[in-house]
Structures are given as C-alpha cells and as structure tokens.
Structure 1
Amino acid sequence: MAQAKYVQRGETIDFINNTSADIVAGEVISLSNRIGVAATAIPVGTKGAINVMGVYDLPALTTEAFTIGQTVYFKDGKVQATETDATPAGWIIEPKSQAGTIARVKID
C-alpha cells in the first residue's frame, strides 16, 4: 500500500522564481492551471512563498459583470469570464457590476 508523507498545510507553496524579473509581494502568478499570489517579494533565482488559497481583490475587465459563484479566469493582468487563452483564477464571492474595476475572487 502506498504511504503519504505530510509536507505542509497547503495555503502557501514554495515557488522558485525562474523568470527574468523580480516578483513583488501581491503579484498574481500563473501556475499553469490556476493562479497564486506572491506572499513576499521573490527575487530572480530565489525561492519564496506563493498563496494558493484565500480571497483576493483582483483587477477585472470593466466590460463584464460577475455573479457569486461564477468561475473566472486571469489574462493580461485582469479577471475575466472568458477562458480562452486564460488561466483559471477561482470563483466570484461578491457580485461585480459591469463597470466595476475589482473582482473579489476565491482562489484555491
């Protein structure tokens, strides 16, 4: 029988910044099929913490309204309803009017 070894709670994960730019605290990071939010600054080539659970106010397209429970995506620095070429971001926990600039998103 396979055995599992507990590693961590999972609200944050270790992330090595293999990009060409420093990551600032609060920056949204694409993790292929989901997003995370940098918990701290992560200089190029170093390891830091990425939050992968929680509720965040994120910039959103001002051409779309969102409803509670709606799945949303992250593309070009904004939350949007369309998944085409976008990274799953989570789901809406507070309605947003079409003109609203911020979406309150539960990431997980």
Structure 2
Amino acid sequence: MAKNYQQDGKTLDFQNTGATDIHSGDAVLSGSLVGVAHDDIPAGLWGVLHTSGVFVLPKAAEAVTVGQKLYLADGKLTAEAGEAAALKPLAGTAWATAEVDAVSVPVRLGY
C-alpha cells in the first residue's frame, strides 16, 4: 500500500460546532463538502459523516430526473446551483426520478 494512504474517503470525522443537535440521516455541510450524519451528533461533539453512497434526502418542490446534479440549500436538495456569489455546494447525482410533489429523492453523494 502507498505510504501516503490515509483512508478510503467514505466517511469524514465531523465536529458539530453548531448550537443544535444533528440527527442521523441529516445532510450536513462541512466546508463545501456535503455528507450525511451516520448517528446523532449532539452540539459540540464529534461524529461521522458519510461522504459516499446513496441516501434518500429531502428535496425542494421541483421535478428531478435521474442523473441530474443536485445541490444543498437550506437542508434540501435542489437542481439550482445558484449564482456565482452564492453557489450552493454539490450534494451529488439524482439516483432516481422524483416528481414535483415528492418530498425526497435518492442521491449518490459526491458525484
């Protein structure tokens, strides 16, 4: 194995520096990286975020097509990347189609 190998990159240690708890399954922003909380992460404590895999996450009230890039905005996935001054972080790629009235969609993180 390469001497500079650190890890497989499927998870990220994350400190919840916010004032509220993060719940298992929540989409979480760390810098510009979107991950999903493995377990509950109480405010001020450390936890683990998944950075790869397919997760069902809440989405905005818009239609989504399979393969579409999705971004995170206010805890929901959206197809809108935003303007240059307010770019939204890439969450991943839609893994299925979802109608406008669907409240969630499967997304493959990071791609």
**TM-score when scaled to structure 1?**
0.85
Alignment of 1:44-63 (within 5 A): 44-62=43-61
Other-structure match for 1:81:
79
CA distance in 2, matches of 1:4, 1:12: 20
CA distance in 2, matches of 1:41, 1:6: 29
Q: Residue type matched to 2:77 in 1?
A: V
Q: Which runs of 5+ in 1 are unaligned?
A: none
Other-structure match for 1:100:
102
Other-structure match for 1:17:
16
Alignment of 1:29-68 (within 5 A): 29-62=28-61, 64-68=62-66
Q: Which runs of 5+ in 2 are unaligned?
A: none
Quote how far apart the aligned CAs of 1:35 are: 0.9
**TM-score when scaled to structure 2?**
0.83
RMSD: 1.6
